[in-house]
């Protein structure tokens, strides 16, 4: 007696169909993944700019003047205890003429301008406790 043993497997056509389907799915999904990664990096950079601007406002409140250079803020551990923020695109942050942070990768900055750029301020009068 002779037994016929059939090996189970896939034919070449079945494998080609699977490869074509996977290729079509990746062609649809890959551009979306890349676009969302760029959007996330852009938002991270904008968030860093907002943080630097917030710390510049804090510096202004503490010293009655905005910092002249961004290193004044980023190298001070009182303002950035974990170190200077890093742009996800590799850009460098700097302060423009109105003391707002900008990134070299896009030149973007926050739209809000500082309320008062005077270097001499009088602190508000303290209210007595009631």
Three-class DSSP category at 61: helix
- Does residue 45 interact with Zn ion by CB under 5 A? yes
Q: How far apart are CA 80 and CA 53, in angstroms?
A: 12
Contact call for residue 41 and Zn ion (CB under 5 A) = no
Interface with Zn ion, residue 70, by CB under 5 A: no
> Site for Zn ion (CB under 5 A): which residue of 44, 51, 84, 87?
87
DSSP per-residue codes, 11-47: -HHHHHHHHHHHHHHHHHHHHHHHHHHHHHHHHHHHH
> In angstroms, what is the minimal distance from the CB of 95 to Zn ion?
14
CB of 7 to Zn ion, least distance (A): 57
Q: Of the candidates 127, 116, 111, which has an alpha carbon nearest to the alpha carbon of residue 64?
A: 116
Cβ-based nearer residue to Zn ion, 105 or 110:
105
127 CB neighbour count, 10 Å cutoff:
6
Please identify, using beta-carbon distances, which residue of 52 and 99 lies nearer to Zn ion: 52
Residues from 110 through 129 that contact Zn ion (CB under 5 A): none
Which residues contribute to the site for Zn ion (CB under 5 A)? 45, 87, 89, 91, 103, 105
């Amino acid at each position: 007696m002779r037994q016929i043993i059939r090996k189970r497997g896939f034919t070449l056509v079945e494998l080609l169909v699977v490869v074509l389907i996977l290729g079509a799915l990746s062609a649809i999904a890959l551009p979306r993944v890349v676009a969302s990664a760029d959007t996330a990096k852009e938002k991270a950079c904008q968030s860093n700019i907002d943080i630097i601007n917030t710390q510049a406002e804090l510096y202004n409140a503490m010293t009655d003047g905005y910092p002249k250079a961004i290193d004044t803020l980023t190298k001070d551990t009182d303002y950035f205890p974990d170190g200077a923020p890093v742009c996800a695109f590799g850009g460098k942050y700097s302060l423009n003429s109105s003391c707002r942070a900008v990134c070299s990768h896009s030149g973007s900055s926050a739209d809000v301008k500082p309320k008062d750029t005077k270097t001499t301020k009088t602190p508000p009068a303290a209210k007595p406790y009631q």
